[in-house]
């Protein structure tokens, strides 16, 4: 059937208006804090049960082939996909963590240690003031693995009306495709594969072998003796592994697993009322320890 052009336009315009209004009516709330209006923010907090995510990245060299923001990009990918699966509000870009060991490389931003803790505390305090009573830090950067549990422990120094949960990088899930490399600690096969999924346009596969990511093992100390220079001693190029065998299948497997892991954590945290209860009980006792039964 043929219609006159004018009539056809009017019918199409009407159909477009209907489609638009229908989609507006059914419009879902964004999981991203910065995309919500003030009014919708309140609805989002209610819908989330007060569960908010703080994906935590860093700015540091990632071998010769990956962008400086790799950890930020990948932790946000997992957090945003996890929150889409199980609703939570996701805080904007955050990259103010521990990265002193890469200060010799271009583009690294290493904030002073006291400022890292102060800024993180101010951030979670502000999140909580806005209704995020259960905050899950989704860590994307291995250099934060001491900082974040310490931050969580330091919450016990004073009473809080909210809980900080920390999710370090999850274990490798079962059924994972086989890897070609054994050293794979930073910007190697796994992380390059992950970025082939999150931001393939930023991965320079042709440069992956421009530098060595070999372990130089330049210190000879017992394994239980720690020194801050250990990483530089082993991997002076801030590259630990080989990104060349990276592939999308491995990346997709890991990023899906990580995203589901985040969604599972959100579900568990929504159901958890015990942590705050115990935290409050502890805070009360801590004000008068002599009364704690012995
Ligand atoms: Zn990384």
Read off the pLDDT of residues 171-210 as tens digits, 9 standing for 90 and up.
888 999 999 999 999 999 999 999 999 999 999 999 999 9
Rg (CA), the chain: 23
Residue 14 within any structural domain of the chain: no
Q: Is residue 5 part of a domain?
A: no
Q: Is residue 293 part of a domain?
A: no
Distance from Cα 191 to the centre of ligand 1, integer Å: 7
> Does pLDDT of 2 surpass 90?
no
CA pair distance 283, 139, nearest whole angstrom: 27
Residue 99 domain-assigned (yes or no): yes
Q: Which residue segment(s) compose the domain that 174 sits in?
A: 30-274
Which comes out higher in pLDDT, residue 136 or 174? 136
How many A from CA of 74 to the centre of ligand 1? Answer: 8
What is the count of structural domains for the chain?
1
Asked if residue 8 belongs to a domain, the reply is no
Residue 109 sits in a domain of what CATH number? 3.40.50.10310
Dist. CA 83 → ligand 1 center (Å):
21
Element (H, E) at 165: strand 163-167
| Cα of 62 from ligand 1 centre, angstroms | 6
Protein residues placing their CB within 5 Å of the ion ligand 1: 70-71
pLDDT of 16 > 70? The answer is: no
pLDDT category of residue 27 using cuts at 50, 70 and 90 = low
Q: Is the pLDDT of residue 273 over 70?
A: yes
pLDDT in tens, 213-253: 999 999 999 999 999 999 999 999 999 999 999 999 999 99
Percent of the chain with pLDDT over 90: 88
Ligand 1 centroid from CA 186, angstroms? 6
Please check whether residue 120 lies inside any domain of the structure: yes
Specify the residue for token string 């199409």.
Answer: 12
In a domain, 3, yes or no: no
Predicted TM-score (pTM) of the model is: 0.90
**113-134 as b/e, with b when 16 or more CB fall inside 10 Å?**
eeebbeebeebbeebbeebbbb
In a domain, 22, yes or no: no
State both tokens at 57.
């990245």
């Amino acid at each position: 059937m043929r219609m006159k052009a004018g009539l056809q336009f009017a019918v199409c315009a009407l159909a477009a208006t209907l489609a638009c209004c229908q989609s507006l009516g059914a419009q879902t709330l964004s999981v991203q804090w910065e995309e919500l209006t003030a009014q919708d923010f309140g609805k989002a907090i209610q819908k989330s049960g007060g569960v908010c995510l703080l994906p935590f990245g860093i700015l540091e060299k990632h071998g010769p082939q990956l962008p400086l923001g790799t950890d930020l990009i990948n932790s946000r990918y997992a957090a945003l996909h996890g929150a889409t699966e199980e609703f939570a509000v996701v805080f904007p870009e955050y990259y103010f963590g521990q990265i002193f060991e890469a200060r010799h490389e271009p583009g690294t931003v290493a904030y002073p240690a006291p400022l890292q803790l102060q800024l993180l505390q101010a951030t979670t305090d502000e999140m909580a003031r806005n209704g995020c009573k259960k905050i899950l830090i989704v860590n994307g950067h291995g250099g934060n693995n001491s900082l974040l549990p310490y931050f969580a422990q330091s919450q016990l120094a004073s009473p809080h009306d909210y809980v900080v949960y920390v999710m370090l990088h999850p274990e490798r899930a079962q059924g994972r495709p086989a890897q070609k490399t054994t050293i794979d600690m930073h910007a190697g096969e796994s992380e390059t594969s992950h970025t082939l999924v999150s931001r393939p346009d930023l991965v320079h596969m042709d440069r992956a072998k421009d530098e060595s990511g070999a372990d130089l093992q330049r210190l000879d100390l017992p394994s239980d003796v720690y020194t801050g220079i250990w990483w530089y001693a082993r991997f002076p190029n801030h590259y630990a592994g080989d990104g060349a065998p990276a592939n999308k299948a491995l990346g997709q497997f890991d990023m899906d697993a990580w995203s589901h892991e985040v969604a599972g954590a959100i579900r568990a945290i929504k159901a958890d009322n015990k942590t705050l209860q115990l935290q409050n009980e502890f805070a009360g006792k801590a004000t008068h320890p002599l009364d704690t039964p012995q």
